[in-house]
């Protein structure tokens, strides 16, 4: 008998299932699984559900999009999707919701791996950084590495904890306490602790969460929350927007939730990287013509925990064609080349911000002309740093920077 009626458009049911299998499911969840003509999920989820499933069983395909298409094709008939824990916390729910409206779905979540780990450790979740490294680069954890911070990291497999320990040691956190919580909620549950530098755990279950109690050693690579990070944190060949100028530039760019930045002539990628560090919803496309600098940007993005930064290797304005429209644009290099400024202004969304920096007379002349023609704000930024002069000290001025800020009305 169908579980979908004319008055209830919810044909798709997402059910979170834990390592305790059917014992951890509500009666409603069990009933919906048993009544469903089709049940989708990971091979492990389908095995755990066992004899509850009476309909067809469909394990996730590769690529995953094929399974999403198969589910969408059954719109209007009852379908159950089994997922780990909470389907909307780094789970399949987020993917399916991009294709299927919320009013067509019902969700019965189970405790997430993060919730179970926090319960075992007595850590308040609201005070704990929860990071999924499942199928994602380990470097995503780097922005969270601050002294005394508590982090829960979901890994991909049995190799994840050791790789995480090695990353911690390499970044100056060798005494961090690392607790591996395996197969939480089931009969194989096990919890073991060590330090990053003394990591010696073996036989780790592929289903694991790592709990980190961060201890920063001398010289640990900590990424401050403020904009204008130390230049020494970046790998660069001298083509970098310097720390103080970068702080002013990011303030002028004014990142807002979910926005996209074009970083034209990205150099080391420092501005685009710091833009993304401001919030996980922010995106950057870095445009760089020099192959060696493009590779450098990719390395910097990874080491700062924003490996998802998009990189376009090419020369503007041609390299800008076909890119998603930006909410903000930074022009730090190559802005004086023919057509770059016009192409950037044309591509910028209404209400978007453009910030361009000049250190050469040619680029400064272009910014002055744009300021006269379009308005905005023109600022001269001059920085001097103390340096030895013989046996004394004096001010050594850096090259002045002219900055034009403009909002597209």
Q: How confident is the model at residue 297 (pLDDT cuts 50, 70, 90)?
A: very high
Q: What is the pLDDT of residues 117-152, one digit of tens each?
A: 999 999 999 999 999 999 999 999 999 999 999 999
User: Can you read off the two tokens belonging to residue 278?
Assistant: 């401001």
Residue 333: predicted pLDDT: 75
Residue with tokens 């060798």: 174
Residue 238: predicted pLDDT: 87
User: Can you read off the two tokens belonging to residue 165?
Assistant: 């320990």
Residue 2: predicted pLDDT: 44
Q: CA 114 to CA 125: how far, in whole Å?
A: 8
Q: What is the pLDDT of residues 334-371, one digit of tens each?
A: 788 899 999 999 999 999 999 999 999 999 999 999 99
State mean pLDDT over 272-281.
97
Residue 261: beta bridge partners? 284, 328
Residue 281 Cα distances to 213, 245, 253, 326, angstroms: 26, 24, 16, 14
Q: What is the pLDDT of residues 196-255, one digit of tens each?
A: 999 999 999 999 999 999 999 999 999 999 999 999 999 999 889 999 999 999 999 999
3-state percent breakdown (helix, strand, coil) of the chain, nearest 5: 30, 25, 45
Average pLDDT of every residue of the chain: 95
What percentage of the chain has pLDDT greater than the value 70?
A: 98
Q: What is the pTM of this model?
A: 0.89
């Amino acid at each position: 008998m169908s579980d979908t009626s004319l008055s209830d458009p919810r044909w798709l049911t997402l059910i979170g299932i834990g390592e305790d299998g059917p014992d951890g499911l509500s009666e409603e969840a069990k009933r919906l699984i048993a009544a469903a003509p089709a049940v989708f999920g990971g091979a492990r989820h389908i095995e755990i559900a066992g004899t509850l499933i009476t309909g067809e069983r469909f394990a996730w395909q590769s690529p995953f999009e094929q399974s999403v298409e198969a589910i969408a094709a059954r719109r209007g008939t009852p379908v159950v999707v089994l997922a780990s824990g909470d389907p909307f916390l780094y789970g399949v729910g987020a993917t399916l919701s991009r294709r299927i409206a919320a009013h067509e779905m019902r969700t019965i979540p189970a405790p997430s791996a993060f919730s179970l780990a926090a319960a075992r450790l007595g850590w308040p979740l609201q005070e704990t950084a929860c990071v999924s490294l499942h199928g994602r680069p380990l470097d995503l954890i780097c922005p969270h590495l601050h002294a005394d911070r508590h982090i829960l990291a979901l890994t991909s497999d049995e190799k994840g904890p050791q790789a995480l320990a090695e990353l911690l040691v390499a970044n100056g956190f060798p005494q961090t306490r690392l607790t591996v919580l395996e197969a939480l909620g089931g009969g194989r549950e096990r919890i073991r602790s060590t330090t990053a530098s003394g990591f010696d755990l073996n036989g780790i279950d592929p289903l694991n969460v790592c709990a980190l109690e961060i201890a920063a050693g001398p010289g640990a690579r900590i990424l401050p929350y403020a904009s204008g990070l130390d230049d020494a944190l970046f790998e660069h060949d001298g083509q970098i927007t310097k720390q103080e100028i970068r702080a002013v530039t990011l303030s002028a760019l004014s990142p807002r939730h979910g926005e996209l930045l074009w970083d034209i002539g990205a150099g080391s990628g420092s501005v685009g990287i710091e833009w993304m560090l401001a919030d996980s919803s922010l995106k950057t496309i870095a445009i760089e013509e020099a192959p060696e600098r493009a590779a450098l940007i990719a390395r910097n993005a990874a080491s700062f925990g924003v490996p998802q930064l998009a990189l376009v290797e090419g020369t503007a304005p041609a390299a800008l064609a076909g890119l998603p429209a930006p909410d903000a644009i930074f022009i730090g290099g190559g802005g004086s080349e023919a057509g770059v400024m016009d192409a950037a202004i044309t591509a910028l969304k209404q209400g978007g911000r453009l910030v361009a920096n000049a250190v050469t007379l040619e680029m400064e002349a272009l910014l002055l002309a744009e300021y006269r023609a379009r308005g905005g704000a023109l600022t001269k930024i001059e920085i001097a740093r103390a340096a030895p002069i013989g046996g004394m000290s004096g001010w050594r001025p850096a090259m002045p920077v002219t900055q034009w800020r403009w909002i597209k009305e």
